[in-house]
Every structure is written in C-alpha cells, then in structure tokens.
Amino acid sequence: MKTSLSVILFTLTASVLSTTAFADECALSIEANDMMQFSKKSLSAPASCKEISVTLKHNGKLPVTTMGHNWVLSKAADVQAVATDGMSAGANNSYVKPGDSRVYAASKVIGGGEQTTVTFSTAQMKAGEDYRFFCSFPGHFAIMQGSFTLN
Ligand SMILES: [Cu+2]
C-alpha cells in the first residue's frame, strides 16, 4: 500500500515538473526601449512547442505615438515587404497589413511602460527555417530586428 502511494506521488510530481519545463520553454520574453532597441538579437524555442508566447515589455517612457513598438514574426526574406505594407496599413492596424499570410505573429503596438503578450501557433512553421522578429512601427524594422529559430 505504502509503495503504490509513493509511486503515484512520484508520477504526479514528475508530470507536474515536466509540464512546467515545457511551458517555460515555449514562453519567451523580450524588452524594448526609447533608443529603438530590442534587448535580444535572437530568440529560439523548441520545435516541440505547439504554441509559443512572446511577452514584449517597453521599458521606455515615450508614448506609443512617437516610440511605439510591437513584435512581428515572418520569414527573413519577407521582413522588408511586411514592414512596408505594415506602414501603409497604419496605426489602426498595429502597422501590419490585415490578413497578411507572411506574418506568423504580431503583437499590438505599445508605448513606454506597457507590456503585451502575443501567442501564436507553430503549425505553419518549421525547424531550421530562417525567421526574423522585428518591430513594424514606421522606421524601426531596420534596427529593431533579430533572428528567430525553432530547434
Ligand atoms: Cu519599434
């Protein structure tokens, strides 16, 4: 009786721990500031993540209208076109063309002191592909970008 109870407890503990580890690996975070910079040049997650969440925190003080930042994910080859179309789409569309199929994830645009989280499916993504994350606020993508990989 005692043995089976400890086996059950061990199994429960192990499953809780593995669930926690999995969730953490699929939850990423990055910061941005008033100097038009992201805090990281690269982000990655295990290819086993069915969904990934990215939390963007704006550590600056400037308002969203002058130093807004968002977190947008596309293939490296699509960054420029997505950003250009995003600029045309304007602030009301968070600087991303509505329904843009080249975009895997896009957060809302935030100003200094704000934080936002975007959760996206990896169903259309694959390990080894050259993805990039960037800010699509007008004029920012050239500086505010980094690599994103599924491992
Ligand atoms: Cu920005």
pLDDT tier at 11, thresholds 50, 70, 90: very low
- The answer to whether 87 and 105 have CB atoms below 8 angstroms apart is no
What separation in Å is there between the alpha carbon of 151 and the centre of ligand 1? 27
Does residue 13 sit within a domain? no
Residue 151 has pLDDT above 60, yes or no: yes
What separation in Å is there between the alpha carbon of 67 and the centre of ligand 1? 6
Does residue 97 sit within a domain? yes
Residue 142 neighbours by CB under 8 Å, 6+ apart: none
Give the dihedral sign, CA 61/64/69/73: positive
Does residue 144 sit within a domain? yes
Does residue 63 sit within a domain? yes
Tell me the C-alpha to C-alpha distance, in Å, between residue 38 and each of 48, 69, 75: 26, 9, 18
Does residue 1 sit within a domain? no
What separation in Å is there between the alpha carbon of 142 and the centre of ligand 1? 10
What separation in Å is there between the alpha carbon of 121 and the centre of ligand 1? 23
What separation in Å is there between the alpha carbon of 104 and the centre of ligand 1? 18
Does residue 65 sit within a domain? yes
pLDDT tens for 94-124 read 999 999 999 999 999 999 999 999 999 999 9
Q: Residue 35 belongs to what domain range? A: 27-150
Q: Whole-structure pTM over 0.95, yes or no?
A: no
Does residue 18 sit within a domain? no
What separation in Å is there between the alpha carbon of 69 and the centre of ligand 1? 3
The identity of residue 91, as a single letter, is A
What separation in Å is there between the alpha carbon of 116 and the centre of ligand 1? 13
What separation in Å is there between the alpha carbon of 75 and the centre of ligand 1? 18
The identity of residue 29, as a single letter, is S
Q: How many domains does the chain have?
A: 1
Does residue 15 sit within a domain? no
pLDDT tier at 14, thresholds 50, 70, 90: very low
CATH at 82: 2.60.40.420
